Structure 1
Amino acid sequence: MSIPEPLLKVAAIFFDVIFVLLVFSFIFIFGLRFYWRWKAKRLKGEPVPEELLVPKLKKGKGLIYFYSPNCRPCQMVEPIYKKLSKELKGVHFVKINVLEKPEAVRKIGILATPSMVLVKDGRIKEVILGPVSEGVLREKLK
């Protein structure tokens, strides 16, 4: 029993379409990640927008934590953030809900949550995208 030739052609076209969709989705995902990292690197040295610059961030070190209450990775980072905010006394911590202050978040250029912005003397020192471990965050805050 053999498979009819028209059916083989349809199957070949179907698998070609699936392959092309997979390739484009990988390109899109990696392109988006590349863009986020590029944008985060461009923020280094920029002043923190006035909407986000609370008085305690003008001098010394600080961390602005952007989160969303319904974000799973944010819920994983939350205990780390709370622990470090209690332990590290020389660092000022600010927590911003992206759903409550979308204009301020848009001004600084945050595209995804969780994101953390390290601030030193009112200027952006580094932008951390995505969830990070306690050790990495502690090392960056020293």
Structure 2
Amino acid sequence: MRDYWIKTAGELESQLAEPEPPITPPRHRIIFLYSPVCRWCKKVEPILDEMLRGRRDIQVLKLNVRSRPVRKLVKALGFDRTPVTIIDDRYVIEEATNYRMRLDFALRMVGAK
């Protein structure tokens, strides 16, 4: 990571000479649909966070179904309860039963494990 507090012209030249490391986009995406009042969502979210901690290859979008635009999306997708986890638009985990095992399986199936 570059130090942006440059004090001399020499430091400026050396900073400009260093190439920035390339930013690689995440290879996988998880969409987590939740409600802040859902007790199952509150149980599942820490599991999701723990399993994905430090994973830069996975983008996680947490969407609150109580907001109007997300509510419309959820209705259009046909989901009627939370939590819902969508992995790479290929695997869907509804409800909290065996969540850790099911998320682990889905991650292996998409090549993210």
Under TM normalisation by the shorter chain, which class is it? 0.5 to 0.7
Q: Secondary structure at the match of 2:45?
A: helix
The corresponding residue for 2:92 is 127
The corresponding residue for 2:71 is 102
Would you say the 8 A contact 2:28–2:59 is kept in 1?
Answer: yes
Moved beyond 6 Å, runs of 4+: none
Could you tell me how far apart the structure 2 residues matched to 1:115 and 1:140 are?
13
Could you tell me how far apart the structure 1 residues matched to 2:72 and 2:99 are?
28
Deviations 1:3-54 (Å, cap 9, x if unpaired)?
Answer: xxxxxxxxxxxxxxxxxxxxxxxxxxxxxxxxxxxxxxxxxxxxxxxxxxxx
Percent of matched pairs sharing the same residue: 27
1:136 and 2:105 matched: no
How far does residue 83 in structure 1 lie from its aligned partner after superposition?
1.5
Task: Select the residue among 63, 72, 85 that pairs with 1:116.
Answer: 85
Could you tell me how far apart the structure 2 residues matched to 1:72 and 1:78 are?
10
Could you tell me how far apart the structure 1 residues matched to 2:106 and 2:92 are?
11
Could you tell me how far apart the structure 1 residues matched to 2:58 and 2:84 are?
17
Query: How many aligned residue pairs are there?
Result: 81
TM-score relative to the length of structure 2: 0.62
Q: Secondary structure at the match of 1:112?
A: coil
1:80 and 2:47 matched: yes
How far does residue 133 in structure 1 lie from its aligned partner after superposition?
3.0
Q: Secondary structure at the match of 2:48?
A: helix
TM-score relative to the length of structure 1: 0.50
Which structure has more helix as a fraction of its residues? 1
- Judged with a 3 Å threshold, the aligned counterparts in structure 2 of structure 1 residues 127 and 133 are, in CA distance, closer, same or farther, namely closer
Would you say the 8 A contact 2:93–2:102 is kept in 1?
Answer: no
Look at both structures and tell me which one has the larger radius of gyration over its CA atoms: 1
How far does residue 140 in structure 1 lie from its aligned partner after superposition?
1.4
Letter in 2 for 1:67: Y
How far does residue 102 in structure 1 lie from its aligned partner after superposition?
0.9
Q: Secondary structure at the match of 1:87?
A: coil
How far does residue 128 in structure 1 lie from its aligned partner after superposition?
1.0
Task: Select the residue among 37, 48, 54 that pairs with 1:70.
Answer: 37
How far does residue 107 in structure 1 lie from its aligned partner after superposition?
2.0
Could you tell me how far apart the structure 2 residues matched to 1:133 and 1:117 are?
12
The corresponding residue for 1:21 is none
Letter in 2 for 1:136: R
